Amino acid sequence: MKKLILSSLVVALFAANAFAGKFSVDNVHSNVDFTIRHLVSNVRGSFTDFSGEFSFDEKTGDKLEAVKFTIQANSVNTMNTKRDEHLRSPDFFDVAKYPTLEFVGKSAKKTGKNKFKLAGDLTMHGVTKPVTFDVDYLGIGPNMMGGRVAGFKATTQLNRKDFGIIWNKTLDKGSLALGDQVTVNLNIEAAPVEAAAAPADATKPKK
């Protein structure tokens, strides 16, 4: 009887995780954007060099785990060379000293159909702070190469001063050139990572 119960538990555990697989972000078909207030409007920027991976249960859409995302700070792009050089300087990202931004997920709570609250630690400008993303799972389907691809959208807001990025400029009438709140939007396509075949046991005699 004990063996039967144990076997049932093993089968149930395997079934629960059978469809949870590792995914890798396709940075060609993904984007990382941010917006910040400038004067009385908003300026949009992006990072063009990034990588990421996570585990996701594509059958049930219930599990999002082991999220890790890395951005190369030097890839910041606001479509203005002079402004981008300033953003790479010690006034902002200080890319020579802090070459990467990193997010490591700690928990993902399902809040509705295809919706998650993804909490984790964001390290930027040498400072690590907790950040929570609102994540929408957009579905999974075939890609143009005959494989599968999953889509996600993630959004959060953060205060740049929390990460030690404090540069600003006071205008003639006392207002500031830049806001403190930054909105971050990620649109992600990711493909399953196929497990590598296990190497042959070298201790077994060849037939």
At residue 187, the pLDDT reads 98
Task: Give how far the C-alpha of residue 86 lies from the chain's centroid of Cα atoms, to the nearest Å.
Answer: 25
- Lowest average pLDDT, out of 3-7, 96-100, 159-163, 170-174, goes to 3-7
The 8-class DSSP code of residue 170 comes to B
* Residue 204 reports pLDDT greater than 60: no
Task: Assess contact for 103 and 131: CB atoms under 8 A.
Answer: yes
Q: What are phi and psi of 4, to 5 degrees?
A: -65, -40
Domains of the chain: 20-192 (2.40.128.110)
> Distance (Å, rounded) from C-alpha 157 to C-alpha 134?
10
* Confidence category of residue 5, pLDDT binned at 50, 70, 90: very low
* Residue 18 reports pLDDT greater than 50: no
At residue 177, the pLDDT reads 85
3-state helix, strand, coil in the chain (%, to 5): 15, 50, 35
At residue 173, the pLDDT reads 73
> Distance (Å, rounded) from C-alpha 130 to C-alpha 121?
4
Which amino acid makes up residue 69? F
At residue 195, the pLDDT reads 54
